[in-house]
Every structure is written in structure tokens, then in C-alpha cells.
Amino acid sequence: MSYIEAKELSVGYEGEVVASHINFKIDEGNYLCIVGENGSGKSTLMKTLLRLQKPLAGEIRFGEAGQTKEIGYLPQQTVVQKDFPASVQEIVISGFQKKSGFRPFYNKEEKKQAEENMRRMGILEFKNRCYRDLSGGQQQRVLLARALCAAGDILLLDEPVSGLDPKVTADMYDLIESLNKEGITIIMVSHDIGAAIRYASHILHIGESIFFGTKEEYIESPEGKYFLARQHKAEEAEENIIEAAETEVIENQNTKN
């Protein structure tokens, strides 16, 4: 049986369906990217996968033979989190809280694993530094190390590169890819279709119609073709805006001179 399987799943709020007829299967070592327009229900599905919300219809099955898998979660960063006044080590090890109940101390094995996850994420040297003094990319690595402490072997990442510059974004994607190659199953919500096509093994597209399949099948599907073309157009429009702004700056300078 698959790690996670959704059958005719509907997600939403108090009887209001946001997305329905969702069917997908995630097997060990898969890299699933959940894509779709803003407001299509990606975060709502995420909350349902984390069992913070009940499905409105259908079902989700977790684990093999009904065994529940722990999911490590990397939430979207909020302004409040960026200013969190705790040390890197404290934040990483707090990933064990869900497993051990809310107690302020951790056992030897947990401390060792937290240290190992900080090493994996290349942040061991910052372990005593205050989280809020780190750069955006370093903060994401801290949250990823924390999610690894919480994870059995599934990581759920909600827009993990939002707000990061292109170089740090590429590093973050590489890091996630290396975790996947180590055998960790990845579920990532992203509006970055380029990254989805590059890194994912499977795509779940949520919107007016729902698509689930391998990345290769997605590229050939009507949903994939439409979404890729739209993204391409949006990027072109953005480039034109930047070009026009650059021309304006140069013209302004020339008039001043």
C-alpha cells in the first residue's frame, strides 16, 4: 500500500467545498508537487493532510497497513516567525515536541538527532545564534532541520522558497532534492511550476479540473499545457515591465546629464 492515498477527497470549510474529487497516491521516495492558482485550495489540502482539518468527503489513508506516518512540516514563514527570539538549537529540537508531548526537556537521542539534522542542513556552526539574526535562507534551513526532527520520513513543504533570492532559492531546492535522494518522501506546495517540472516525480494540479500523474504525464496534459503557457506568459510580461523600467531609468539619467 502507498504511504498516503486520497480517494474522492473533498476539502474545504464548514460545509463549503474548496476542491473535490481529489485522487492521488504517494509512494515511498516520491517527490510530489502540488500546484494550482491562488485560492485553488492547496493550503486547505495541506491542512487536511496534516490532519488539522477533516475531509468533507472521501478519505485519506496514511501509512502501510494503517500505520500512521509522522509528517514533518515546513510552514510558510510569517513575519512573527522571522523575529522569533530563540536559538537555532532550541528551534530545531522543538521539532520533537509533537512526538514527546509538550515538555521542556529532550532526551539524549533527540539531542543527538537534532545535532545531526543541523549538520545535514549546514547550520551546526550557528546552533547557539539567535534565529532572528540569521538570513532568510539560513532561517529556512533551520526550519527544515526542525521539520526533519518531526518527520518519520515524509516532509511537507509549503512554498519553501518564497521571499528568497534566486541563488538561495536554487540552494534550497538542491537541499530538498538531496533529502529526497536520501529516501525522504517530499510533498511540496509551490506556485513555481518551473521548479515543479524540474524536481518533482509527480504533480497534483488543483483547480477547475484536477490532475494527478507523473511529471511527464502532466506536461502532456491539458491542465499542464495551459498552466505552463500561462506561467510563461506571466514571466514574459514581467520581463517586459523590467525592461521598460530600465529604459525609463536610462532615459531619465540621459536627460539629467
Provide the binding-site residues for ligand ADP, judged by CB under 6 A.
13, 18, 36, 38-44
Nearer Cβ to ligand ADP, position 44 or 117?
A: 44
Which CB sits closer to ligand ADP, 39 or 122?
Answer: 39
Contact assessment for residue 34 and residue 189, using Cβ atoms and an 8 Å cutoff: yes
b/e map 36-67, b = 16+ CB within 10 Å: beeebbbbbbbebbeeeeebbeeebebbeeee
- Closer to ligand ADP at the Cβ: 36 or 224? 36
**CA separation for the pair 132, 106 (Å, rounded):** 23
User: In terms of CB distance, is 54 or 108 closer to ligand ADP?
Assistant: 54
CB of 42 to ligand ADP, least distance (A): 3
- Euclidean distance between CA atoms 12 and 20, whole angstroms: 9
Q: Is residue 16 packed enough to be buried (19+ CB in 10 Å), middle (13-18) or exposed (0-12)?
A: exposed
Helix, coil or strand: residue 50: coil
Shortest distance, position 28 Cβ to ligand ADP, whole Å: 26
Least separation in angstroms between residue 98's CB and ligand ADP is 22
Shortest spacing between CB 116 and ligand ADP, in angstroms = 32
- Closer to ligand ADP by CB, 44 or 89: give it: 44
Q: Do the beta carbons of residue 42 and residue 76 sit within 8 Å?
A: no
In angstroms, rounded to a whole number, what is the distance separating the alpha carbons of residues 217 and 167? Answer: 29
Smallest distance from ligand ADP to CB 153, Å? 25
Pairing between β-strand 71-74 and β-strand 154-158 as defined by DSSP bridges: parallel
* Whole-angstrom distance, CA of residue 28 vs CA of residue 51: 20
Indicate the residue among 52 and 65 with the shorter CB distance to ligand ADP: 52
In whole angstroms, how close is the CB of 9 to ligand ADP at the nearest point?
14
Sheet containing 185-189: order of strands:
71-74, 154-158, 185-189, 31-35, 202-205, 211-214
